[in-house]
Amino acid sequence: MKPALLFSRAVKLKYSLIIVACVSFSTISGAQIFKSPDSYATADLIMSQVNSYRNSLGLPKLFGHTKLNMAAQAYADYLADTNTQGHQANGTTFDARIRAAGYRPCVRGAGINQLAENLYYYTSRGGPMPPAKLAAAAMQGWKGSPGHDANLRYPTFNDHAVAVAARRDGDVYTYKIAHEFGDMCRPPNVPDANQFGKRIR
């Protein structure tokens, strides 16, 4: 099993995370690109664990947001489809992708992050990774990386979304997890109208 963390920094902190599971699939370049209820279960587990982590630190919870979910899922799918990695694998920045999905962050002041992205990649052999194990691996990886952990603990973020996508090459399963964060300058623990309770499928 081979996990991979990605960390980069620009005007704002940039991180990424991708998560996937399998069942229905399409064949592209000899690889099977798939999603299943396990993909969404993994994403939901991560989102829940992020809030548990923040709660243990006395930080406000993050709300799932439909616009961030659109950005995260599209990018996770792209990374799985092309078997690439990085915050600009498709030639765009996470900031541009999130804004293109319709999410409108606020402006708090110079040096304060409005948006961020965590990416996580995991490769396993012999079968798909159970959601609980994949979610735990992603969380452990991010918490162990100062840059990724800073995104998880960023105090002014209001919203987040996690998406998982995966590909299968023979007995090798590669998972791409994307985690997007945003700040709309709402008071702590106040959801936006675009909050979602269950994962959008």
- Amino acid identity of residue 133, one-letter, is K
Q: pLDDT tens, 40-98?
A: 899 999 999 999 999 999 999 999 999 999 999 999 999 999 988 889 888 999 999 99
Residue 7 has pLDDT above 60, yes or no: no
> Contact at 8 Å (CB) between 141 and 179?
no
The first and second tokens of residue 71, run together, are 């950005």
Of 33, 53, 49, 72, nearest to 132 (Cα)? Answer: 49
9: confidence class by pLDDT, cuts 50, 70, 90: very low
- The pLDDT assigned to 107 comes to 83
Please state the three-class secondary structure of the chain as a single string: CEEEEEEEECCCEEECCCCCCCCEEEEECCEEEEECHHHHHHHHHHHHHHHHHHHHCCCCCCEEEHHHHHHHHHHHHHHHHHCCCCCCCCCCCHHHHHHHCCCCCCCCCCCCCCEEEEEEEEEEECCCCCHHHHHHHHHHHHHCCHHHHHHHCCCCCCEEEEEEEEEEECCEEEEEEEEEEECCCCCCCCCCCCECCCCCC
Q: pLDDT tens, 127-152?
A: 889 999 999 999 999 999 999 999 99
Q: What does pTM read for this prediction? A: 0.82
12: confidence class by pLDDT, cuts 50, 70, 90: very low
